[in-house]
Amino acid sequence: MKHAHLILGMIYLSFMAPLQSSDGELEKFNNYINQSISDANIAGMAVAIVSGDSIIFTQGYGYSDIQTKEPFTPNTVINIASISKTFVGVALMNLVENGLISLDEDVNTFLPFKVQNPYLPESIITPRHLMSHSSGIQDDQKVYLPSYHYGGDSPIPLGEFLADYLSPDGTHYSKKNFTKSKPGGKFVYSNIGAGLAGYIVERVSGKPLNVFTREFIFKPLGMNNTCWFLSEMDSSKHTRLYESKKRHTQLKKVDLYGLTTYPDGGVRTTVTDLSYYLLCIMNKGVYKETRILNEETVIDMLTPDYIDSYTKFWGIGDQIGHGGGDPGVSTGMYYLPKEKLGIIYFINTSSYGAFKKKEEKIFEFGKRLLLKR
């Protein structure tokens, strides 16, 4: 791959901003974001701020393609990494709400293969354990990382990969795939565990996860630029992806890719579309006049099970949401329940650690917008 020097006179494009901020405040915020992405060698990004039932600010910065100078806008599509897990959580809660599953059943009840922790062969793993990353399943990076398929969607079926990894007769089955902790005993973040949770949605609903979530979440909420697979979309709408190299002086292009364990990070969307989803969760399952979960179900979903900071694929506490990082991707989706204020940002450059600490500045700007309502 060729390296592209970051000679980007950073641009920003402003789109729908229903609340009026003073020119000085807006200029200060834009200058801060532009300086931040310049310092971190980010090609492009978009920000959305939401409150009530509305997007109150959204804006794009930089480029979705540094060669063609295509701007990164609030309607630019990007794969959002681990924020995708929240959709698996919502899908499972829909199945619970409809009486199709209990979060405390043995996962083997739903599977055509047997999941067994070699350290604790008699232990029972449940969907609740998977959703809190306390199942005892862990990611062996030597197996997990090669499951990324560069150039398109992964040709390996999700169920086949999971059986090979988690079942005693599987090709990749190993003690390295599990911890010695009993289910519910220890938080160990697991992408493969999230993949298994998504596969359970498929087995119980009788539909592929991409179809189930499209019918139950994306379409009802008007998320018309949202999907899971590259084959489902016009790739020209998808941002290019980059990695920052040479001490943040060069950008290296990253080929678009698909995930074999796609429920753990495969959703592709825009900050505009994701705003509808975040507002729905903030309003306890309803956006405008569309309800996807009952209020009681959302409350249950965000109620801790084993630890106080993460449950059912949602980070919880004073701030609720999820972040994500993958090759060429850095994302965040969070809201403050007390302030009823949410933020979303998508970045098309591997820079999760560099930008994570900037989230508070976006919240601060959002709070100033709310004061003007």
Q: Are 78 and 184 in contact (CB under 8 A)?
A: no
- pLDDT at residue 247, as a whole number: 61
Band of residue 16 on the pLDDT scale cut at 50, 70, 90: very low
The span from the CA of 293 to the CA of 30, in Å, is 36
pLDDT level of residue 354 (50, 70, 90 thresholds): low
The pLDDT value recorded for residue 5 is 31
Give residue-wise pLDDT tens across range 172-224. 999 999 999 999 999 999 999 999 999 999 999 999 999 999 999 999 999 99
pLDDT score at 8:
37
Is the pLDDT assigned to residue 2 strictly greater than 80? no
Amino acid residing at 49 = I
Digit-coded pLDDT (tens) for 211-264: 999 999 999 999 999 999 999 999 899 999 999 876 667 899 999 999 999 999
Domain 1-6+47-62+69-268+285-343+353-373 fold is: Beta-lactamase (3.40.710)
What secondary structure, in 3-state letters, does the chain show?
A: CCEEECCCCCCEEECCCCCCCCHHHHHHHHHHHHHHHHHCCCCEEEEEEEECCEEEEEEEEEEEECCCCEECCCCCEEECHHHHHHHHHHHHHHHHHCCCCCCCCCHHHCCCCCCCCCCCCCCCCCHHHHHCCCCCECCCHHHHHHHEEECCCCCCCHHHHHHHHHCCCCCCCCHHHECCCCCCCCCCCCHHHHHHHHHHHHHHHCCCHHHHHHHHHHCCCCCCCCECCHHHCCHHHECCEEEEECCCCEEEEECCEEECCHHHCCCEECHHHHHHHHHHHHCCCEECCEECCCHHHHHHHCCCCCCCCEECCEECCCCEEEEEEECCEEEEEEEECCCCEEEEEEECEECHHHHHCCHHHHHHHHHHHHHCC
Q: Residue 149: is its pLDDT beyond 80?
A: yes
pLDDT class of 39 with cuts at 50, 70, 90: confident
Residue with tokens 């200058």: 31
Give the rounded percent of residues in the chain with a pLDDT score beyond 70.
Answer: 92
Domain borders along the chain are: 1-6+47-62+69-268+285-343+353-373
Average the pLDDT over 304-313 and give the result: 95
Q: Please give the pLDDT value at position 161.
A: 98
Q: Say what percent of the chain tops pLDDT 90.
A: 86
Flag whether pLDDT at 15 surpasses 50. Answer: no
How much is the mean pLDDT over the chain?
92
pLDDT at 7 over 80: no
Averaged over 346-355, what is the pLDDT?
A: 81
Q: What confidence score (pLDDT) does residue 248 get?
A: 60
Q: What's the average model confidence in pLDDT over 85-100? A: 98
Please state the φ and ψ torsions of residue 245, each to the nearest 5 degrees. -130, 175
270 pLDDT higher than 50: yes
β 241-245/349-350 pair status = parallel
pLDDT at 246: 63
Band of the pLDDT at 24, cuts 50, 70, 90? confident
Indicate yes or no: pTM above 0.85.
Answer: yes
Is pLDDT at 369 greater than 80 in this prediction?
yes
Query: What's at 263, amino acid-wise?
Result: P
For residue 21, the model assigns a pLDDT of 53
Which whole number is the average pLDDT over 291-317? 97
Those residues with Cβ within 8 angstroms of residue 209's Cβ, 6 or more apart along the chain or in another chain: 88, 91, 198, 199, 201, 202, 228, 262, 263
Contacts of 321 (CB under 8 A, 6+ apart): 83, 86, 278, 314, 315, 332, 333, 334, 335, 342
Residue 13 scores a pLDDT above 70: no
